[in-house]
Amino acid sequence: MKLDPNLMKYSLSLLVLICFHFSISDLGAQNPKSVSGIDADLAFAHVKKLVSFGPRPPGSPGIAQAQSYIISHLKKLNLQVEQQDFLATTPNGSVAMKNIVARATGEKNQAVILASHYDTKLMQNFYFVGANDGGSSAGLLIELARVISQQKRTFPVWFVFFDGEEAQRDWTETDSLYGSRYFVEKLKRDSVTRRVKAMILLDMVGDKELVLERDLSSTPWLLDLVIKSAHELGYGKHIATLPKAMTDDHIPFVRDGIPAVDLIDYSYGFDNLYWHSSNDTLDKVSPESLKITGEIVLKTLDKLGAK
Ligand SMILES: [Zn+2]
């Protein structure tokens, strides 16, 4: 993912409004304790396992192990698992990629998508395992699939693991977001775009000092729902005060008219220095942060169900 500088210029004018919203919604904060069913240790164990496969760029031996691991866990939950295999045209030539989609059923027609990328950025000069960037959100998504598949919800939930979020070289419109762009194109081809009610993206959610961005590229009402959920859980301090504009796997959805929100902590270490560095290792990932993010997601799903 990357920051979008063009959108940032709107930040200051929005700040006054957002601060106002922040203080109002804090007044409504309820009991900080919640019984969500998210197991922080299980989520962390998934991250640890994914990291143990080493670097996981598209087409690598590491990502093949990650794919088997994710698919076997989803199948154990008795979820229907679809593997979307495609060839991406990249600056490094054709690269085989795979999105993994699992579906929990519900009575209503429209589904909510929970998503994460599971690839790690291809690095030529150092060993990059992406514990937070690629690992944390994919591990949490497996745990969310476990919890949600045991719940009764009125709407279907699709768990989508994107390949190829990262650029093969330097981030451009065409060298990035391969999996999510393919996924949204396929929705269109299959004429099922309108079957998606909303998309919630998780990315870099394991930092010990968890601060999720107020992303200016996300759909405003859906971001509001996430922020409201965080405050109701007593997690207001885990939402950033200043907005940022993120370019991430939610963008193809937003562009196609699907409400989408990015839950991302883009301040990883001082000045985001751990991001895309050899310092993005398991010791920086906190089970508690995974749990907090998971609970915010579940609360947001409750609110989406009531809408
Ligand atoms: Zn990244």
- Please determine, for residue 24, whether its predicted confidence score (pLDDT) is greater than 70: no
Q: What percent of the chain has pLDDT over 90?
A: 86
d(CA 267, CA 238): 12
**Strand pairing partners for 234?**
none
Residue 102 has pLDDT above 80, yes or no: yes
Sheet holding 260-264, edge to edge: 80-90, 93-104, 157-162, 111-117, 196-203, 260-264
pLDDT of residue 17 exceeding 50: no
Contacts of 99 (CB under 8 A, 6+ apart): 83, 84, 86, 160, 161, 162, 163, 179, 182, 183
- Measured CA to CA in angstroms, residue 158 lies from 7, 101, 102 at distances of 30, 7, 6
Mean pLDDT of 3-23: 53
Cα 152 to averaged position of ligand 1 atoms, centre (Å): 34
CA–centroid distance, residue 120 to ligand 1 (Å): 7
Domains, the chain, in order of start with CATH, read: 2-306 (3.40.630.10)
User: At a CB cut-off of 8 Å and minimum separation 6, what does 170 contact?
Assistant: none
**Phi, psi angle pair for 114, to nearest 5°:** -110, 130
pLDDT of residue 21: 44
Kindly give the distance from the C-alpha atom of residue 65 to the centroid of ligand 1, in angstroms, as a whole number. 19
Mean pLDDT of the chain, nearest integer: 92
| CA angle (79, 85, 90) in 5-degree steps | 140
> For the chain, percent helix, then strand, then coil, each to nearest 5?
45, 20, 35
Look at residue 26 in the predicted model and tell me its pLDDT: 42
* CA–CA gap between residue 160 and residue 206 (Å, rounded): 19
- Between the CA of 284 and the centroid of ligand 1 the distance, in Å, is 15
The alpha carbon of 26 and the centre of ligand 1 are apart by a number of angstroms equal to: 32
Torsion sign, CA atoms 237, 135, 260, 198 = negative
What is the b/e burial string over 83-94, where b = at least 16 CB atoms within 10 angstroms of the residue's CB? ebebebebeeee
CA of 114 to the centre of ligand 1 (A): 18
Expressed in angstroms and rounded, the spacing between residue 166 Cα and the centre of ligand 1 is 6
In this structure, the number of other CB atoms found within 10 A of the CB of residue 237 comes to: 11
For residue 191, how far is its CA from the centre of ligand 1 (angstroms)? 31
Measured in angstroms, how far is the CA atom of residue 47 from the centroid of ligand 1?
15
Mean pLDDT along residues 3-15 = 59
List, for residues 247-287, the tens digit of each pLDDT value.
999 999 999 999 999 999 999 999 999 999 999 999 999 99
- Stated pTM of the model: 0.91
Q: Tell me the CA–centroid distance for residue 138 and ligand 1, in Å.
A: 13
Q: Do residues 247 and 275 make contact, with C-beta atoms less than 8 angstroms apart?
A: no
Q: What pLDDT score was predicted for residue 307?
A: 73
For residue 16, what pLDDT band results from cuts at 50, 70 and 90?
very low
Q: Please check whether residue 205 is in contact with residue 284, taking contact to mean a CB–CB distance below 8 angstroms.
A: no
Residue 302 CA to ligand 1 centre (angstroms): 29
30 compared with 177, residue with greater pLDDT = 177
Cα–Cα distances in angstroms (integers) from residue 116 to residues 19, 109, 120, 153, 306, in the given order? 29, 23, 12, 21, 24
Could you please report the per-residue DSSP string of 200-214?
EEEES--BSS--EEE
Per-residue pLDDT tens over the stretch 127-178: 999 999 999 999 999 999 999 999 988 999 999 999 999 999 999 999 999 9
Could you tell me the distance, in angstroms and rounded to a whole number, from the CA of residue 297 to the centre of ligand 1? 21
- Name the more confident of 33 and 301: 301
CA atoms within 13 A on the CB side of 297: 35
Q: State whether residue 148 is helix, strand or coil.
A: helix
Q: Say how many Å lie between the CA of residue 119 and the centre of ligand 1.
A: 9
Q: Does the structure show a pLDDT above 60 at 33?
A: no
Contact call for residues 88 and 165 (beta carbons, < 8 A): no
CA of 234 to the centre of ligand 1 (A): 29
pLDDT, one tens digit per residue, over 234-249 is 999 999 999 999 999 9
The CA 134 to ligand 1 mean position distance, Å, reads 7
Which DSSP state fits 285? B
User: For position 260, what pLDDT does the model report?
Assistant: 98
CA of 276 to the centre of ligand 1 (A): 6
